Copies of this chain bind each other. A is one copy, B any other.
Amino acid sequence: MKSKITLKDIARELEVSISTVSKALKNSEEISRDTKEKIQAFAKLYNYRPNNIAISLKNKRTKNIGVVIPDIVHHFFTTVIRGIEKYANARGYNVIVCSSDESFDREVINMEMLANGSIDGFIMSLSSETQQKNDYNHLKEVTEQGIPVVLFDRITNEVECDKVIIDDQLGAYMAAKKMIDQGRKKIGLITTADYLSVSKARTQGYRKALVEHNLDVDESRILKLSSMEMDEELIQKFFESTDIDAVLCVNEIFAVYTMRLAQKKGLRIPEDISFIGFTDGFLSQYANPSLTVIAQHGQKMGEVSAQMLIEKVESEAEEETYQTKILEPTLVVRDSTIN
């Protein structure tokens, strides 16, 4: 077991000082050709690599990005991580991933763990519990310490920082309009509680589309499920108690699940009823019929977030200007709607 070699080791072995070694390896002008060559050769031979931790301590830069998300087993979030990772790695940054598991406490704990020097900045999406409690002191504390934060997707106006979202309202509007244009008049919505920023925006888009097209919004056609869990019975009931010819769902699981229910009732998709969901994941692609969705472009979102964060991290300026980037959603038409 050959342990890692340090500057000190090289210095001792070559009978020079540590500073000389350090400078030689950086090709400093201060050091003579001979000495540099000797040191560089030795370092190469023994495969010297500077210790990241020591460098971090010295520069007060870790080259680590902390990512805190509600759930890692979730297609949208993993695509965001992929985007973050892609951009960050190319810039020499590593990504530390923590999942809050939709819990406020775990979100706070994770941030505290990372905020004590482990990372240069945060990229995060709020847990549902946090959005429900509406308590953002952990975020404020971090930003007050000068640690940059980028919020994506599930954001809040309560904290000043950079933000990246898609235009959720527009997405829902596009979806609803698509169905209206195809002659649907009784459009249902399956969503989650309103405290989730994205669900709220999507509901607004849905309402807007209906109103603009002179359809009245029948509240009985809106089903609010708590959190992201499936409540089979509720959906079943909703589906039987109301008369609809199209359904917009705020995620793909709701959509795929409800499609199955519809099929069991003997309804043909998309002839009798059409479906549109959010999130362009595996489920939508491989569902039967495949699901028309509003794509949220998770990877792009991750890349943009990482870019904004790294810019802040690397900028010396103490500017207190924050921006919110709004990405355009896209309608991906598949077989759950008429073509």
Give the interface of A toward B (CB within 8 A): 1-4, 49-54, 56-57, 62, 64, 72-75, 78-79, 81-82, 85, 89, 92, 94-99, 110, 112-118, 144-146, 253, 256-257, 259-260, 263, 282-283, 286-288, 318
Contact = CB atoms under 8 A, between A and B. Distances in A.
Contacts of A98: 85, 89, 94-95
B117 A54 contact: yes
B62 A73 contact: no
A249 B259 CA distance: 25
Contact of A2 (B74, B95, B144): B144
Total copies of this chain within the assembly: 2
Nearest to A290: B260
Contact of A116 (B49, B95, B117, B144): B49
B53 A81 contact: no
Interface centre among A78, A81, A318 (most CB of B within 10 A): A78
B146 A3 contact: yes
Given A53-B53, A145-B2, A256 B97 contact: no
Given A4-B145, A53-B117, 19 more contacts: A1-B318, A49-B115, A49-B116, A51-B116, A51-B117, A53-B56, A53-B57, A53-B62, A54-B57, A54-B117, A72-B85, A85-B98, A89-B98, A94-B113, A94-B114, A95-B97, A256-B286, A260-B286, A282-B283
Interface centre among A99, A115, A286 (most CB of B within 10 A): A286
A320 to B, nearest CB: 9
Contacts of A78: 72-74, 78
Given A260-B288, A282-B283, A283-B282, A99 B85 contact: yes
A318 B3 CA distance: 13
A96 to B, nearest CB: 5
13 contacts: A1-B144, A1-B318, A2-B144, A3-B146, A51-B117, A72-B81, A72-B82, A85-B99, A94-B96, A97-B97, A256-B286, A286-B287, A287-B288
A62 B56 CA distance: 12
Contacts of A263: 288
Given A85-B97, A98-B95, A145-B1, A282 B260 contact: no
B146 A1 contact: yes
Contacts of A3: 145-146
A287 B89 CA distance: 35
Interface centre among A73, A75, A82, A89 (most CB of B within 10 A): A73
A112 B50 CA distance: 11
Contacts of A256: 286
A259 B288 CA distance: 10
